[in-house]
Amino acid sequence: MHDFHYHDNQLYCENVSLEEIAHKVGTPCYIYSHKTLVRHIRAFDQAFNAIPHTIAYAMKANSNIAILRLMAQEGSGADIVSGGELFRALEAGVPSQKIVFAGVGKSGDEIEQALKADILMFNVESAGELQLIHEVAGNMGVRARVALRINPDIDPKTHPYISTGLKKSKFGIGAERALEEFKTASELTHIEVVGVHCHIGSQLTELTPFTDALKKILALIETLKVQGINIRYLNIGGGLGITYSDEVPPHPKDLAAAISPLLQDLKCQLIMEPGRSIVGNAGVMMTRVLYNKDTEAKRFVVVDAAMNDLLRPSLYEAYHDIQHVRKPSSSRLKTVDIVGPICESGDFLAKERAVPETVSGDLLAVMSAGAYGFTMASNYNSRPRVPEVLIQDHEIHVIRTRETYADLIRGETIPAFLKKSTS
Ligand SMILES: *Cc1c(COP(=O)(O)O)cnc(C)c1O
């Protein structure tokens, strides 16, 4: 599942001890295993080898250009959601013909950039967006390839913030409007309708939401065929869950086995957009204990990482397992809140968690932090963003350095009228 293991009571990533990494780059930091990343992307690819498919890695999960390059070398494309992600993907060498562009708020500029790059297709989320793409493509004298993103109204049975395929969600085009929108799209001269897209949510631990959504999409593809609209690409999105604590998510092989029978007679290229399932368990965030703070109510373990470094606990009350980098000799557990230095009560990494007792200076690994970890980091409280390292066997590769204080104010200026001396 991943390559973080204890050896002589020391936590290792592949063949490097986390203590050595702390020594080299300091804390907090993100640590990714090359071996795990490669295994995960290959497992996905191999699971679907009987079906013509393209993997468009959902780069919002982890968009470091070293990780993107690795995915590209493994034959993967990218699912992007902004002009910034397009820039990163191209910088990293992701072939533009394997890039798909999702998101409810693509701007005219972003659409133009994507058309210039000649990406594979836009996953269109509304009638308004379809018109804008048509207009921009018209101005450029090109035809834009599009899939329409369908909202199949399926409950993915996951956290509400990461459910995207319910009627009330902002994503996609409602199934009842879909036919009409496809007809409109097929009549636009600067639009080429090539696909159907759907992505119902993230951290799915059951297969039925996938198959239920797929059945609805396949029925739509049938209807479209009758109307003379031939679909060449079927994009089923991402969303496969991972183990954070005791979840038992399906393996990509299980997903392939569940959907293959439904795709028997379909002459479509399958596109998938896995994010979390590729990178989630391939990374940890390492932090150091600053203080144990005992109050009347409870013990707080104050660490040097905070919600700006890893937002998921604060944002979704997400659970991340926490491991001592050096296995403590006593296994006596104490129930504590593990909190960061930020001035918010919502700044925590774990709440009411039973962990072996910590002392100041201990290193802790926040597990399963490879997805939606660094990409959600901010500079809140003027905290420089932390470094990222990629471990390959015995080697530590720094793939992003720690930000400096100068980075914090880059782009800021004091206007002339304020430039009088301050005292
Ligand atoms: C976020 C997202 C994904 C990836 O989801 P995971 O749960 O990380 O696999 C795929 N497609 C779209 C459109 C997304 O927004």
Domains of the chain: 4-31+280-408 (2.40.37.10), 103-272 (3.20.20.10)
**pLDDT attached to residue 419:** 87
Of residues 156 and 208, the one with the higher pLDDT is: 208
Closest CA to 64 of 314, 397, 357: 397
Give the amino acid at 76. Answer: S
Output the CA–CA distances (angstroms, integers) from residue 80 to 64, 94, 178, 191, 210, in the order listed.
13, 11, 23, 20, 21
* Most informative mutation of 202, 210, 236, 271 for ligand 1 (most atoms within 8 A of CB): 202
pLDDT in tens, 323-377: 999 999 888 999 999 999 999 999 999 999 999 999 999 999 999 999 999 999 9
- 149 in contact with ligand 1, CB cutoff 6 A: no
Between CA 100 and CA 274 the distance in angstroms is 13
HSE-CB for 389 with a 13 A CA cutoff: 28
- Mean pLDDT for 51-80 is 98
Query: What is the overall mean pLDDT for the chain?
Result: 96
pLDDT score at 326: 97
**What's the confidence (pLDDT) of residue 330?**
81
Which atom belonging to ligand 1 lies closest to the Cα atom of 149?
13
- In the chain, the largest separation of any two C-alpha atoms, in whole Å, equals 78
The pLDDT of residue 423 is above 90: no
At residue 165, the pLDDT reads 74
Distance CA 210, CA 200 (A): 8
| Confidence at residue 421, expressed as pLDDT on a 0 to 100 scale | 76
Residue found under tokens 């720094």: 398
| Ligand 1 in reach of 387 Cβ (< 6 A) | no
Smallest CA separation from ligand 1 atom 1, residue: 58
Query: Does the beta carbon of 197 lie inside 6 Å of ligand 1?
Result: no
Q: What's the CA gap between 41 and 118, in Å, rounded?
A: 25
H helix or E strand, kind and range, residue 394: none
pLDDT bin (cut points 50, 70, 90) of residue 251 is very high
Q: How far apart are the first and last CA of the chain?
A: 59
CB-ligand 1 contact for 275 (6 Å cutoff): yes
Binning pLDDT at 50, 70 and 90, where does residue 264 land?
A: confident
Reported pTM: 0.96
